[in-house]
Amino acid sequence: MTRHHLISFQPSGKRVPTAGRETLLQLAHGAKLPIESVCGGQGTCGKCRILIPLAQGRLLPPTEKEISALGNLIEKGYRLACEMVPASDLTCTIPEASLVSGQVILTSSNCRPSRLKPDIMDFSLEIPPPTLSDPASDLSRLIRAFQKTYGRQVREIDTLAMREIASAVRSQKGRITAFLWKDRELIDVRAGNDEAVFGIAFDIGTTTVVAYLLDLRSGREVSVASAMNPQVPYGDNVISRITYCLEDEKGLEKLRSILLALMNQLIDRLCQKAGIKNSQVLEATVVGNTVMHHLFLGLDPRSIALAPYNPVVRSTGPVKARDLRLHISPSGYVVPLPVKAGFVGGDTIGVVIATNPHRKSAMTLAIDIGTNGEIVLGNRGRLLCCSTAAGPAFEGGHIKWGMRATKGAVEKVEIDPATLNVRIHTIGNRPPLGLCGTGTISVVAALIRARVITSHGSFNPAVSHPRLRPGDGGTEFVLAWAGETGTKNDLVITQQDVAELQLAKGAIRAGITILMKKMGIKKVHRVLLAGAFGTYVEVQDAWTIGLIPSDLCSQVESVGNAAGAGACLALLNRDKQAEAERMAEKMEYVELSVDPDFNELFIDGMLFDAPVPLDKS
Amino acid sequence: MTRHHLISFQPSGKRVPTAGRETLLQLAHGAKLPIESVCGGQGTCGKCRILIPLAQGRLLPPTEKEISALGNLIEKGYRLACEMVPASDLTCTIPEASLVSGQVILTSSNCRPSRLKPDIMDFSLEIPPPTLSDPASDLSRLIRAFQKTYGRQVREIDTLAMREIASAVRSQKGRITAFLWKDRELIDVRAGNDEAVFGIAFDIGTTTVVAYLLDLRSGREVSVASAMNPQVPYGDNVISRITYCLEDEKGLEKLRSILLALMNQLIDRLCQKAGIKNSQVLEATVVGNTVMHHLFLGLDPRSIALAPYNPVVRSTGPVKARDLRLHISPSGYVVPLPVKAGFVGGDTIGVVIATNPHRKSAMTLAIDIGTNGEIVLGNRGRLLCCSTAAGPAFEGGHIKWGMRATKGAVEKVEIDPATLNVRIHTIGNRPPLGLCGTGTISVVAALIRARVITSHGSFNPAVSHPRLRPGDGGTEFVLAWAGETGTKNDLVITQQDVAELQLAKGAIRAGITILMKKMGIKKVHRVLLAGAFGTYVEVQDAWTIGLIPSDLCSQVESVGNAAGAGACLALLNRDKQAEAERMAEKMEYVELSVDPDFNELFIDGMLFDAPVPLDKS
């Protein structure tokens, strides 16, 4: 008989038996303890660190991956939950920073449609009974009443909606409400005057999924729900998700079905909160990057990972909800905003239709920063777009004490240039646990201003201070001492962390430079920062680290979750859907990897005060 | 503990235990013994008669329904299986005539399309690979290749077909076969040159379902399969099926799902026989009366049972196969031919597009006889139609020794007017078991010619012969003595049987007369008899019993299963679908029940040699 060990997880106190085959991460997930794992248990992201008092049972020595990811933290008892298979009874502690919880997800969509013109409109009708001299079908009488009352022609009827007609026309003396999609297809018929009709706009991010419930008659946002993308354990970025699909023949269906299950949960949650039935939601719009778009639709994403990175399908048009198994009304429609290219997705198209660069003569630069940074440049005459692989640094990834933007994450620091005293602001005003993306930028910007970091990104060897010390990743700067933090460890930023940020911003800078070169301009009228990052980052910090060239423009605006706003607008105004299709067609995609100057520009862009060589070519 | 009895069924010898709660019919069906039951166990059709030797166990006395259905047969040991709940061990014999087996189902569709123009066509394409300078999506490249190679524009793509593109364009150097529906929607994409494409035409009758597998590239009929409609146990006619839906709130879904299950079995059987995959069948057409049309589509049929008998929907247009759960390719289409009225269905429309009265100047009368008789009259200028409730007599129902057209059924008799000697022809040359519809007509016609039956339908009191004798349903004529039959009983036709036939033919005659009156004509150029009955009945007999007025026309033609032929034609030529829609629109429906002369004409029509009072009104 196999001997079972007992694993006790602190601080929750949950106890889990194991036969010694599963990792601590698997055991914790099985016990519903949401330990973070952005790499999906590959031992690379270092996010699932747990604390194991050293004097316990039979511990296997740390693996190479643990040594690489944790460095000297191992001496303090940290291990990676995804690497440890316990061989004896064990008590371990899950630090708060390792828990997936309460992430700040940008949900406000800033959605103000200029005009309400949804795909679906409700019509009250009175259907006369049939007679022996005119035994017309229920549907024929409905179509005639429509024509007579509203002067409109019903051209099609949904197969499932057809089944509702007989009882609807009989239950309230022929008074019904009919719902017409795009002025032509009857997609719902209800007895009496039940005019309520709703829509849901989805923003499927690589990391988070946000859903907005909108009342299509008033345009009002009824409620918002969001959650982590459940695909995260299968890879923290789009390329690792594609790799998962390539390695497992059922990978695509698995990624699609867990995403779908989450979206259906969000629908249920929104409908329960609003006190409505799922069947009253008759349309959903969806924005997402191209890989999310493909995974949601069940399209094989592998071509996106290989040159020339083309998608399988750019525009699908509306799809019946039942064909995608999305639990709004089965007769309703799902409208995925079109994608432009393998790395310029429906989210970028959403940013465009929400911020309207193509409707203005002023030259606009819009940057949506995430793991990939999508950049759009242009005006009424011409629109260019590109995508740069910024990497995870802006989202707290690959940073030693990096974390998502949850409670305890440092979001802003002030450093006195004279004393190097540090003042830290965290989300939720907690003792600091780590650095989120904006926090990392704030720290680096403050250190640049304090001349602790040079233009090349290295710590200034001329500075001597107790906070600046050698660490296992090169020199590091101590932001908070162990006694001040929530982890009881010194909170530091390392030379390697600064380099990660340089890589990320260098990619963005190179993208901006190449687009401006293609457009033949040196200045723009406005710069828009979109996405969670764009909302929370201090413009001054973005300038200081040189994310935006300092001489580019004085007007920098944060536009919040513009991609989600685009999805909401497309739901409320069908002209916006058409506009999205036109923009996906018209916008010119620039493939950075084929630009001969890219590598040089990338390296130049990593510098912190390098002048942008606009006139190079 | 409940005591179990043992029931032994002969001649199969199957033994079934029972706790005494189920009827013999239920027990037999549970044991897969296919006892006939057209009324669904209501005790009214008398088809489930079984033989129980009298000296057995504790037998409950015959019920009123048994006495009414069986008459003096009870003395010979006959009982109704649906009425008997055995209270002791029992041995019973199922007579051959009570078994559902080997019915002659009319499957030949006589289908000769003048032109092959199916909805679905295959196109071979070569898709060039994407390049960095033109990273167009797989779909865009496919659409471009289509445009370039064939000059055609693909406007839509099926959501599921979209998922096939990525692997298809990658597996055989970009060589694919694309399947386009109605020149606009891409519904299937396969790697290489797999051009095979099939369709299935369904003829859903109240009693039988026939399916024809057609090769859409050649128009060839590949194979045919048929089976009893599994809804028969829930009622032998359309009204009793509707009643079942009214009485059981899940009745509609039940009738729909058992029909669907059978249709899917037929699809599987046809595909297996032809060695093809179900996914290669890309379209199905369906004809059926209005109740079958509604039950197949999941539409509530109750309005058809009540004045003014209107359907819920007359025309649905094409429906995705997956939305109906029909197991051809889920991306394929189902095209139900439209219905005209509650009792003029897609089967009648099928007869019209197969026989083309609307394309000729000659005046045509087409009669499709079943439980309901649908009549179409007209030519190029005008088409009228009506439906008459002929009742089950033409299909062997409500006739004492009536049976379906299976082996042993009398299909033709000759009676010598001088000697009244009878010569009997049966299906399969077996000793006679009973009378099918054409047999009943043949017997009555022969007895009229022999002057044994008078113009009023009563047995001639002036005739004295051992074959003519009193029975428990009035006078009866012995067609075969017990020693000559397969049942070891005298095979008779009773006064009541003749009256049933008179009711049936009276209804048809009244319909013909009213249509001719509306059209203002006294003669037609041709009469078409459609359906199984129309195929097998002798034209001379139809004239003798006055089913067709003798002075109407000299050209009577049997057109076989014209409804099924219509379904096949619609599958092979999309113009025929459009024609069906136009005819369903244009044809004028005549409601017989509101005609003030109907009752009088019905009674006149029951006479056997009554002159038709055409000039009455």
pLDDT single digits (tens) B236-252: 789 999 999 999 999 99
The answer on pLDDT for B56 being more than 70 is no
The answer on pLDDT for B185 being more than 80 is yes
The answer on pLDDT for B18 being more than 80 is yes
Q: Residue B135 and residue A298: Cβ atoms within 8 Å?
A: no
Give the per-residue pLDDT at B490.
Answer: 94
Give the per-residue pLDDT at A614.
Answer: 33
Query: Rounded CA gap, B236 and B176, in Å?
Result: 49
Q: Residue A309 and residue B341: Cβ atoms within 8 Å?
A: no
| Minimum-distance CB partner of A137 among B165, B310, B320 | B310
Q: Residue A312 and residue B162: Cβ atoms within 8 Å?
A: yes
Q: How far is CA A271 from CA A179, A215, A224, in A?
A: 19, 11, 10
Give the per-residue pLDDT at B366.
Answer: 95
- Which DSSP state fits A236? S
The answer on pLDDT for B615 being more than 50 is no
Between positions 262 and 301 of A, the ones with CB within 8 A of B are 297-300
Q: CA nearest A131 in B: which residue?
A: B308
For residue A342, list chain B residues with Cβ-Cβ distance below 8 A: 135
The set of residues, in sequence order, having a beta carbon less than 8 Å from that of A42 and lying 6+ positions away, is A82
Q: Residue B165 and residue A312: Cβ atoms within 8 Å?
A: yes
Q: Residue B157 and residue A594: Cβ atoms within 8 Å?
A: no
Inform me whether the C-beta atom of residue B185 falls under 8 Å from chain A C-beta atoms.
Answer: no
Give the per-residue pLDDT at B354.
Answer: 94
Predicted model pTM: 0.81
| Minimum-distance CB partner of A165 among B135, B167, B312 | B312
Predicted confidence (pLDDT) per residue in B432-446, tens digit: 999 988 999 999 999
Q: How sure is the predictor about B107, in pLDDT bands with cuts at 50, 70 and 90? A: very low
Q: How far is A114 from chain B (nearest CA, A)?
A: 30
Give the per-residue pLDDT at A567.
Answer: 97
For residue A299, list chain B residues with Cβ-Cβ distance below 8 A: 162-163, 165-166
For residue A176, list chain B residues with Cβ-Cβ distance below 8 A: none
Between positions 327 and 366 of B, the ones with CB within 8 A of A are 341-342
Inform me whether the C-beta atom of residue B140 falls under 8 Å from chain A C-beta atoms.
Answer: yes
Query: Rounded CA gap, B497 and B478, in Å?
Result: 13
Q: Residue A323 and residue B591: Cβ atoms within 8 Å?
A: no
For residue B165, list chain A residues with Cβ-Cβ distance below 8 A: 299, 312-313
Query: Rounded CA gap, B86 and B22, in Å?
Result: 8
Do the beta carbons of residue A546 and residue A510 sit within 8 Å?
A: no
For residue A134, list chain B residues with Cβ-Cβ distance below 8 A: 308
Q: How far is B127 from chain A (nearest CA, A)?
A: 13
| Minimum-distance CB partner of A132 among B160, B308, B316 | B308
| Minimum-distance CB partner of B156 among A165, A317, A591 | A317
Inform me whether the C-beta atom of residue B464 falls under 8 Å from chain A C-beta atoms.
Answer: no
Q: Residue A166 and residue B314: Cβ atoms within 8 Å?
A: no
Q: Residue A159 and residue B130: Cβ atoms within 8 Å?
A: no
Inform me whether the C-beta atom of residue B589 falls under 8 Å from chain A C-beta atoms.
Answer: yes
Give the per-residue pLDDT at A97.
Answer: 72
Inform me whether the C-beta atom of residue A249 falls under 8 Å from chain B C-beta atoms.
Answer: no
Tell me the percentage of chain B whose pLDDT exceeds 90.
64
Place of tokens 């003395």: B75
Inform me whether the C-beta atom of residue B130 falls under 8 Å from chain A C-beta atoms.
Answer: yes
Between positions 84 and 113 of A, the ones with CB within 8 A of B are none
**B21-38: buried (b, 16+ CB within 10 Å) or exposed (e) per residue?**
ebbbbbbbbeeebebbbb
Place of tokens 């590949």: B222
For residue B584, list chain A residues with Cβ-Cβ distance below 8 A: none
For residue A165, list chain B residues with Cβ-Cβ distance below 8 A: 299, 312-313
Query: Rounded CA gap, B211 and B216, in Å?
Result: 15
**A472-505: buried (b, 16+ CB within 10 Å) or exposed (e) per residue?**
ebebbbbbbeeeebbbebbbbbbbbbbbbbbbbb
The answer on pLDDT for B493 being more than 90 is yes
Identify which of A220-234, B53-67, B135-149 has the greatest average pLDDT.
B135-149
- Which DSSP state fits A54? T
Q: Cβ of B173: how many Cβ atoms within 10 Å?
A: 12
| Minimum-distance CB partner of A132 among B130, B317, B594 | B594
For residue B302, list chain A residues with Cβ-Cβ distance below 8 A: 166
Q: CA nearest B593 in A: which residue?
A: A132
Give the per-residue pLDDT at B193.
Answer: 86
The answer on pLDDT for B519 being more than 50 is yes
Bridge partners, B181 (sequence order): B120, B185
The number of angstroms, rounded, from the C-alpha of B494 to the middle of its chain's C-alpha atoms is 27
Bridge partners, B335 (sequence order): B285
Q: How far is A324 from chain B (nearest CA, A)?
A: 8
The pair of three-digit structure tokens given for residue A546, joined into one six-digit string: 């040189």
Give the per-residue pLDDT at A611.
Answer: 34
- In the A/B pair of chains, how many CB contacts fall below 8 A? 126
DSSP letter string, A462-488: T---TTEEEEBTEEEEEEE-GGGSSSS
Element (H, E) at A529: strand A526-530
Q: CA nearest A322 in B: which residue?
A: B323
Q: How far is A593 from chain B (nearest CA, A)?
A: 9
Q: Residue B303 and residue A138: Cβ atoms within 8 Å?
A: yes
Average pLDDT, 10 consecutive residues per value, chain A (617 residues): 75 79 85 72 79 72 85 84 85 77 43 76 94 92 94 93 95 94 96 92 92 93 91 87 93 97 97 97 98 98 94 96 98 98 97 95 92 92 94 80 86 94 93 91 94 93 94 90 92 94 93 96 92 78 87 82 94 96 96 91 84 34
Q: How sure is the predictor about B105, in pLDDT bands with cuts at 50, 70 and 90? A: very low
Between B449 and B108, residue with greater pLDDT: B449
Low-confidence winner among A425-434, B93-102, B515-524 (lowest mean pLDDT): B93-102
Between positions 153 and 182 of A, the ones with CB within 8 A of B are 156-157, 159-160, 162-163, 165-167
Inform me whether the C-beta atom of residue A309 falls under 8 Å from chain B C-beta atoms.
Answer: yes
The pair of three-digit structure tokens given for residue B305, joined into one six-digit string: 């049972």
Q: Residue A323 and residue B593: Cβ atoms within 8 Å?
A: no
- Mean pLDDT score across all residues of chain B: 89
Give the per-residue pLDDT at A40.
Answer: 65
Element (H, E) at B27: helix B24-30
